[in-house]
Amino acid sequence: MAGAASKSLRQDIDHVSLGNEEWNPWEADEKNEQIASQQRYENNIKMIKNARSHLEQTNLRVQIWGKAAIGLYLWQHIFDGHLEPADVTAPWREESQKAGKTYFSFITGPSVVPGYFSVEAENVVLVLNGREKAKITYATQWLHYAQTLIQTHKIQHVAVVLLGNEQCNNEWIQPYLKRHGGFVNLLFVTYDYALVNEEDIFQWPLGVATYRNFPVVEPSWSMLHDPRSYLCNFLGTVYKNSSRETLMEILKQDGLDKLCWIAAREQWQPQETNESFKNYQDALLQSDLTLCPVGINTECYRIYEACSYGSLPVIEDVMTPGDCGNSSMYHSAPLQLLKTMGAPFIFIKNWKELPAVLEKEEKMSLQEKIQRRKKLIEWYQNFKAWMRQKFVNTLENSFLPSDKG
């Protein structure tokens, strides 16, 4: 019925004449639509062809050589990547993924030795440990290997992700940078290194202690919503004459150690037992706040590990001795990367401020704490995504041929 009505309406309109010409409002539209449709189709084909050729021109292949534990933070936490085999003790582990215009492959493990694996990309990211003399000697061997590959035209570009020295004594790597006549295009380095310039030297987050197999933590409903048994936690080494001693005294004086999970030891232990590591994870999960006193550097793994479990870091916001500090780009050291990214932490200058912080904490409702946890976990996820984006963009801007001129 509706079809018949529209047909008769069409006939009526067909017979309306405008001046001497018959007017068919459909005909012109149909023709125009046909032409427009054809044009759209052709444009789309052209666009797809252009995009394909553009992709072929600009696709970047990058191989990451993970020769320091911080490489696992880059790959598994920031890139959200997996590794095969899953066994952390395997001599060779690898995986790949696409990000931006770049195809990344990651290799790690003791079997990754200079000259004994296939170099599968013209662009290499070397992840190295430059924290102390012995590590620097090992890192230098890798840099020399990369230099040979550059000289023999096996690879074109090199970036370095460096676990820097805790006092920012990183002078040894300077001669390897392109700006000083070397071959390293980009340097991503941990801690508040004063030479960060956002051109070829960038600050990189310390991240979690992947060398102790700290996991990628998926937030659960209970992690976000359950009441936590402790106001705060500190499990760590208390060095003689350090601010950590002050912290312990303040906690004991006010009886605050009864409200917090405190386990202090006098000597640092690089290797966790399964039990001590489980205790530590439980403490993060069961505490609203995680106390982060300075060590050799203000930045510590604990900050990122607390974020993983939705326990808000309380940070002793003071510079430590050494050469770390403000750069020409940033003026908020220590922890300028985290501060620039708007980390929602509690920053204090002195542990004497802690009783007031904990008093306020006791008055907070569970609902307020839930909101804060959600905000912290969301911030941390965004932070990692932003670091990934920045890393990819920086590599692409540096390694891809420029479109200009």
**Per-residue pLDDT reduced to its tens digit, 325-340:** 999 988 999 999 999 9
Looking at residue 231, its pLDDT comes to: 97
pLDDT digits (tens, 9 = 90+) for 203-255: 999 999 999 999 999 999 999 999 999 999 999 989 888 999 999 999 998 78
State percent of the chain over pLDDT 90: 77
Q: Between these two residues, 1 and 35, which has the higher pLDDT value? A: 35
Provide the token pair at 164. 């820097």
- Rounded to an integer, what distance in angstroms lies between the CA atom of residue 387 and that of residue 93? 23
Q: Is the pLDDT of residue 1 over 60?
A: no
Alpha-carbon gap, residue 106 to 269, rounded angstroms: 29
> How far is Cα 159 from Cα 167, in angstroms, rounded to an integer?
22
49-61: b (≥16 Cβ within 10 Å) or e: eeeeeeeeeeebe
pLDDT digits (tens, 9 = 90+) for 10-33: 444 344 433 344 444 455 555 565
Tell me how far apart the alpha carbons of residues 128 and 113 are, in angstroms, rounded to a whole number: 13
Yes or no: say if 186 and 391 are a contact pair by the CB < 8 Å rule. no
Cα–Cα–Cα angle for 239, 244, 245, rounded to 5 degrees: 80
Q: How far apart are CA 315 and CA 206, in angstroms?
A: 15
Candidate from 41-50, 77-86, 296-305, 395-404 with smallest mean pLDDT: 41-50
Helices 274-286 and 301-308 sit at what angle, rounded to 10 degrees? 60
On average, the pLDDT of the chain sits at 89
As a whole number of angstroms, the longest Cα–Cα distance in the chain is 105
68 secondary structure, DSSP code: S
pLDDT of 255 reads: 87
pLDDT at site 48:
62
